Amino acid sequence: MGSDGTDNLSLDSIRKTLIGLEDTIIYSLIERSKLPLNSPAYKSSPFPGFHGSLMQLLVKGTEAVQAQFGRYQSPEEVPFFPDNLPPPIVHPSQNCSQKLPAAAASVNVSKDIWDFYVNKLLPQLATEGDDGNYVLSVASDLVCLQALSRRIHYGKYVAEVKFINETEAYTTAIRAQDKDTIMNLLTDTKVEAMVKQRVAKKAMVFGAEVTLSDSNGSNTNNYKVEPSVVSRLYDEWVIPLTKVVEVDYLLKRLE
């Protein structure tokens, strides 16, 4: 097992990482919620050498720079525009990135993340309006997208640890390419319910509007991001897509 770099993986260490990513995601959503929707930033427009939306242009350009500095050498970091990325000129330290078997490289749900963020989440997050500050809006979108992508693609590590802990059961299902059995093996509804409750509570705490007139220092009826939106984000998209990543990874695990 040591040859594939998975020696130090454990469900406990992964859970700590995922809990930390909850904070990152919620804070990024709070920042984006401060800005109006700014719909023109998501409509296709002609740019020199590029035809697409301002959001697509900024994300693609940022990813090209980050690729040179080794961001996408880590299995949990997956670009939204992988075609024609420049090769890295800086490589991450072996101590900074866990390795996974080759199956991890082809597991990618970036298109689904982009679709639910732009078409489903963003309209719930940002109020209708146009202040003309499109670059600031899409820069904030990029932070949200990358945090969500990292959280969801971290499912590769989750799947690997589950495989290590129940190798025989998973191996049988993988050899049969039995998606339903794999999904049943990796699903823990109690943990999922706890995660949804925790992120809703965090959204209440992180996003409470603080005023001096409140006896307890905060107005718990007015949040920067509605806790129900964050809970639904995890319920309808983050958790299901993470499980898609886990199943896809495991189906290829023995290759």
- pLDDT of 153-204, one tens digit each? 999 999 999 999 999 999 999 999 999 999 999 999 999 999 999 999 999 9
SS3 30: helix
Our count of domains for the chain comes to: 1
Percent of the chain predicted with pLDDT > 70: 92
Q: What pLDDT is attached to residue 97?
A: 55
State pTM to two decimals.
0.92
Can you tell me the distance from the alpha carbon of 1 to that of 98, in angstroms, rounded to the nearest whole number? Answer: 13
For the chain, the straight-line distance linking the first and the last C-alpha, in angstroms and rounded, comes to 15
pLDDT tens readout for residues 25-53: 999 999 999 999 999 999 998 898 899 99
pLDDT tens readout for residues 82-134: 999 999 998 776 554 567 988 888 999 999 999 999 999 999 999 999 999 99
- CATH code of the domain in which 188 resides: 1.10.590.10
The residue ranges of DSSP E strands in the chain, in sequence order, are 45-47, 50-52, 208-209, 219-223
Beta bridge partners of 208: 223
| Domain range enclosing 110 | 2-251
